[in-house]
Amino acid sequence: MKLFLDDVRPTPVGWIPVRNADDFKSVMRSHEWDEVSLDHDLGIAHTLGLPSPEVTGYDLAVWMFDTGHLPKQKPRVHSANPAGAARMRALIDERWR
């Protein structure tokens, strides 16, 4: 099963959508995933470039590694935020088993 975390983009065929951090954590805890693709900016404040206390895809990547709720394959990043995507990829490259 493939999980696609994004609050605005259409979900690619063959992937299961999840739109927010709480739902992401819930489904990661309840299923074993083959693949996960992560967006960085989640929520309207991030989309508008405003300061936000909202959880980011980076925060969820850290959560996955800290809790051991990892997909079978190395997580993907599909974010359009260049700095956020680079930070997420660096974390994943550093911590992937």
Mind listing the pLDDT tens digit for each residue in 38-77?
Answer: 999 887 655 555 555 678 999 999 999 999 999 999 999 9
What are 81-97's pLDDT values in tens digits? 999 999 999 999 999 97
Domain of residue 91, CATH code:
3.40.50
Q: What share of the chain is helix, strand, coil (3-state, %, to 5)?
A: 40, 15, 45
Other beta carbons within 10 angstroms of residue 29's beta carbon come to 9
Instruction: Count up the domains in the chain and report the number.
Output: 1
| Average pLDDT, integer, range 10-36 | 95
Range of the domain at 73: 2-95
Residue 6 has pLDDT above 70, yes or no: yes
Of the candidates 8, 91, 79, the one whose C-alpha atom is nearest the C-alpha of residue 37 is: 79
Please tell me the pTM assigned to this model. Answer: 0.89
Contacts of 81 by beta carbon, 8 Å cutoff, 6+ apart? 40, 41, 46
**15-25 pLDDT per residue, tens:** 999 998 989 99
